[in-house]
Structure 1
Amino acid sequence: MVKLEELDFKPKPIDEHFLENDKDYPVTGQHNGHDVRAEGMQRLDADGKPYPTKLGIHGTHVAVDWDCCIADGACMDVCPVNLYEWNLNPGKSGTGNDHKIQKGSEEWNKYRTDKCDPVRESDCIFCMACESVCPVRAIKITP
């Protein structure tokens, strides 16, 4: 996990209306069985500056804004159905199990941190625990 003060961007909460806004959030691909929206598109952080990544929003009913995600793992720790895994450390979940990325490396330039991947999105019971615990509000649950 990267500390907020170490970030080179200011996380902006996920757009709660991304599913209704195909213009700004078109489906641009699939990843681990879920839709990806706005991947490859330049989006702005909370300061109105371009995010350093163009990873988009992963998932539909359980959506994680990968440009905003800081990989603290709290969402994984509270999910009662274990629907998340780390993108760069498949099969692993929870605080401290993310793949550590060296600043300045090729991975850093692409991802900034490991990312919370909703690989078992269909297992969600809509308890909203992950959404409420995310410190940067990168998750949106849509029942």
Structure 2
Amino acid sequence: MGKVAIESLGYRPKPIDPDFLTKYPETGTHHNHKVYAEGVQRYDEDGKPYPTKLGIHGTMVAVDFEACIADGACMDACPVQVFEWLLNPGKMGTGQDLDLSDKPELKAKYACDKSDPIRESDCIFCLACEIS
């Protein structure tokens, strides 16, 4: 599938909040990484409520699931394969995300597939995911 057109999302993602660790509660764990702000209403770049409340996954390698637009760039750049598609397990990289265009229930819940930092502990802090 590849990068989701921002216009099709119905909201404007904004960069991850650098203070998320202190600003939002830890709300759970997923694939051995912490999740913050799941279930918490947060707001997009225009100050409008995000349609989902999936939270921020990871601590050292943090992915804001509301802001993730399934472009796969972080996966393609990562030399140690920290990421995998949330809805297409075992797959990673551009074009390997699950196409939600014919899956209205998943589209309503997730908006698009998400880059899940399932191997966060393998991160070598090269920051390739951030600059990609």
Task: Report if TM-score (shorter chain) is over 0.5.
Answer: yes
TM-score, normalised with respect to structure 2: 0.95
Question: 1:14 aligned to 13, 16, 36, which one?
Answer: 16
Residue 127 of structure 1: aligned partner: 126
User: Aligned pair 1:68/2:67, yes or no?
Assistant: yes
Q: Give the distance between the partners of 1:18 and 1:42, measured in 2 at CA.
A: 13
Structure 1 pair 43/31, CA: closer, same or farther in 2 (3 Å)? Answer: same
1:59-113 deviation line (CA, Å, top 9, x unaligned): 0000000011000000000000001000001110000000110267000100010
User: Aligned pair 1:101/2:100, yes or no?
Assistant: yes
Residue 90 of structure 1: aligned partner: 89
Structure 2 spans left out of the alignment, 5+ residues: none
Give me the CA root mean square deviation: 1.1
Tell me, what secondary structure is at the counterpart of 2:63? strand
Q: Is the 8 A contact 2:21 2:36 kept in 1?
A: no
Q: Give the distance between the partners of 2:110 and 2:39, measured in 1 at CA.
A: 12
Runs of 4+ in structure 1 displaced over 2 angstroms? none
1:24-103 matches, cutoff 5 A = 25-102=24-101
Aligned length: 130
TM-score, normalised with respect to structure 1: 0.88
Q: Is the 8 A contact 2:40 2:53 kept in 1?
A: yes
